[in-house]
Structure 1
Amino acid sequence: MNNQEHTALLVMDMQNGIVSRFQHNQEVLQAVRRSVEAARRHSIQVIFVRVAFSEGYPEVSPRNKTFSAIRQMGGMTVLDEATQIHESFQPKDGEPVVTKHRVSAFSGSTLEIILRSKQIDTLILTGISTSGVVLSTLREAADKDYAIRVLSDACGDPDPEVHRVLTEKVFPRQAEVSTVDDWVNGLPND
């Protein structure tokens, strides 16, 4: 997977309201930062993905267990501080911020249109949480025939055992799994 022109790094759910729950795990946050820096150095498209809802939550069904709870508590709207990209990962010019309304980065977002318009066929996945956005996005991306790599140390999950099982046993069926350093070391020299 070295064709950088057709590759995108997805930085998923690295937004204030989610990153704040992972402040204790600085290793994951640092790994995501290293992946973003490496992608920028190697001219790989960086795309940020966040979850947010419109005022009044028209995207949230009462049957959706996760998001109906957010609707009841309030917050997580597109202008809410919790849905803004965390200051550690500020997008630069030309790095889209995609807003999704479900767990997968593809669901209810413009991600697929952006990928098609940029002729991206390879996705590098990072994000919080491994059992949420990373798993859902990986499954959908595999069904859409993208080549996929998961940067295991640039993904985090509230349950370390779930993270381990997914990255060691489940993800390798549909994606390459490596650390940020292994991925970066495999990129062509500047």
Structure 2
Amino acid sequence: MKPIKKENDTVPNERNKCALLIMDMQRSVVSQFVKNAESLLPFQKAINTARSHAIPVIYVRVAFRSGYPEISSRNKMFGGIPARAGAAAVMEAAMQIDESVQPLPDEPIVTKLRVSAFAGSDLEIILRSWQIDTLILSGIATSGVVLSTLREAADKDYALTVLSDACIDADAEVHRVLTEKVFPLQAEVRSVDEWANSLFVTQ
């Protein structure tokens, strides 16, 4: 799917106070979790839908400085990265947003330091500057960045929608339980098509 260029700039207008978060869709993650191109179609449709409705698209990735000063050896998820890391240039390339969901020049890329999109990032400053009060969540993995971001965003009183088919997890049952039983307690859970159709209804 070809990206749709927005008619206006990234800053939302008065009607649109929501933003679409594309989370952890960087090369290293996509190559690990995505088995075929069809799995990426919901992400691409969500991005194009947001752009066509002048809804800001914000990309979130995890990345670290040279030497990994942000990583604690006590952290089970990130602690082993310095030992596994290859050449700096290779690591930097792996942390870039995957070509299948490339941002436009005016779409921000937020760099975080832990699982949640808010952890060590300037995401909240951007959201506050744009007066965003509603977040549309998508990304990899459902049990990782999506879950952690949803919990933190809910505690910060954002209204939330999770795009169930624009989330991927290594464990299909974990994905099902989260999207069907856990997420609905704090968010609306919709398919990309359902979300896209709702935007046309409210125009």
TM-score range, shorter chain: over 0.9
Which aligned pairs between 1:84-163 and structure 2 lie closer than 5 A?
84-163=96-175
Unaligned regions of 5+ residues in structure 1, if any? none
Q: Is residue 24 from structure 1 mapped to residue 35 from structure 2 by the alignment?
A: yes
SS at match of 2:60: strand
Q: 1:54 to 1:97 in 2, by over 3 A?
A: same
- Provide the residue aligned with 1:72 in structure 2: 83
Q: 1:91 to 1:106 in 2, by over 3 A?
A: same
- Provide the residue aligned with 1:53 in structure 2: 64
Can you list the C-alpha shifts for 1:158-181, whole angstroms capped at 9, x where unaligned?
000000000000000000000000
Separation in structure 1 between the aligned mates of residue 63 and residue 169 of structure 2, nearest angstrom: 20
CA RMSD of aligned residues (A): 1.8
Separation in structure 1 between the aligned mates of residue 158 and residue 87 of structure 2, nearest angstrom: 29
- Provide the residue aligned with 1:14 in structure 2: 25
Write out the 4+ residue segments of structure 1 that deviate beyond 6 Å after TM superposition.
76-79
SS at match of 2:200: coil
Separation in structure 2 between the aligned mates of residue 111 and residue 76 of structure 1, nearest angstrom: 28
- The alpha-carbon deviation at position 5 of structure 1 amounts to 1.6
Q: 2:195 aligns with which of 155, 160, 183?
A: 183
Separation in structure 2 between the aligned mates of residue 75 and residue 109 of structure 1, nearest angstrom: 24
- The alpha-carbon deviation at position 26 of structure 1 amounts to 3.5
- The alpha-carbon deviation at position 72 of structure 1 amounts to 1.4
Unaligned regions of 5+ residues in structure 2, if any? 1-13
TM-score, length basis structure 1: 0.94
- The alpha-carbon deviation at position 75 of structure 1 amounts to 4.9
TM-score, length basis structure 2: 0.88
Query: Comparing 9-18 with 89-98, which one deviates more in the overlay?
Result: 89-98
Q: 1:62 aligns with which of 56, 61, 73?
A: 73
Which amino acid in the other structure matches residue 146 of structure 1?
Answer: Y
Separation in structure 1 between the aligned mates of residue 33 and residue 15 of structure 2, nearest angstrom: 30
Q: 1:77 to 1:130 in 2, by over 3 A?
A: farther
Separation in structure 2 between the aligned mates of residue 26 and residue 35 of structure 1, nearest angstrom: 15
Q: Is the 8 A contact 1:142 1:174 kept in 2?
A: yes
Q: 1:77 to 1:54 in 2, by over 3 A?
A: farther
- The alpha-carbon deviation at position 77 of structure 1 amounts to 6.7
SS at match of 1:5: coil
Which amino acid in the other structure matches residue 57 of structure 1?
Answer: Y
Q: Is the 8 A contact 1:76 1:82 kept in 2?
A: no
Count of aligned pairs between the two proteins: 188
Higher radius of gyration, 1 or 2: 2
